Amino acid sequence: METEISSRLAILGHPQRLALFRLLMRRYPDHVPAGELASALGCKASTLSAYLASLMQAGLVRQTRDGTSRLYAIDMTQVGRTLDYLMLDCCRGRPDLCSPFSKDEGVRHVPQTKFKVLFICTGNSARSILAESILRREGGDRFEAYSAGTRARSELNPVALEVLAQKGHDVSMLRAKNIAEFQGAGAPTFDFVFTVCNRAANEDCPAWQGQPVSAHWGMPDPVAVEGTAAEKSLAFHHAYGALLNRIKTFTALPIETLDRISLQRAVDDIAQVGRGVSA
């Protein structure tokens, strides 16, 4: 085991391989096409292939196929074993030395106020706005909903606003915001941060203060759908339905009673909820 861990650490010591590993961690549990990884990292296909081969040989990444496409995902079981080994070897089982990393010390301190949740996409004009609106209504007195974009557009998508209005949401207070608005002094401390856009998840954003529980709930961009007005509207209704199901599942979680590890697994699993559902 020690030789295996040493090999993994050496492989992750390469800056570009580490960047690829971090990207796949942000996208977990997604299986990401090689072309998308190469584009996000700005590297040649041959270079990416070499990086992926090293990570797979180390057991940190696994490959699957979808037809002729090769997809890649983090092998979370092996990553967990690596971290467990390092913590036990480093601390000799002493939680007083490594308590932030100990499973026994993984119970979160539940805030006395509402849970603050941030949804992120690239433009903050459609998917994240839908999610913010849905949680604001479905979350009741337990949650405060926010949304932002890594490169926020100046205006909200009119079809998104139309769908929200049809569903009975108040859209008067909605606006496009950049994530910088929620970083730095005076910004809210979030309990949860969810990316709902693959492009946003691919970007290496600064860590959020307070170490919120985070997950990637990626879904197709309804803005990208071409066709008639009815076809475009249908795409937004599908996005709304998928997000509604995920958020209902999320708000039903017994958050106050779950330790951080269990909660992380639960929000990761929610990424599979509501795929292909209309509302």
Any idea which residues carry the catalytic annotation?
Answer: 121, 197, 205
Roughly what angle, to the nearest 10 degrees, separates helices 34-41 and 45-57? 110
H/E run at residue 143: strand 143-149
Helix axes 158-166, 229-251, angle to 10 degrees: 60
Q: What is the DSSP string of 192-259?
A: EEEE-SHHHHHS-PPPPTT--EEEE-----GGG--S-HHHHHHHHHHHHHHHHHHHHHHHTS-GGG--
- Rounded to whole angstroms, the Cα distance separating 25 from 61 reads 10
SS3 135: helix
Q: Residue 154: in which H helix or E strand, if any?
A: none
Among residues 42, 6, 7, the alpha carbon closest in space to that of 23 is found at 42
CA–CA dist 184, 172 (Å, integer) = 27
- Please spell the DSSP secondary structure of 18-72, one letter per residue: HHHHHHHHHHTT--EEHHHHHHHHT--HHHHHHHHHHHHHTTSEEEEEETTEEEE
Q: Give the tokens for residue 276.
A: 């292909």
Burial of 268 (0-12, 13-18, 19+ CB in 10 A): middle
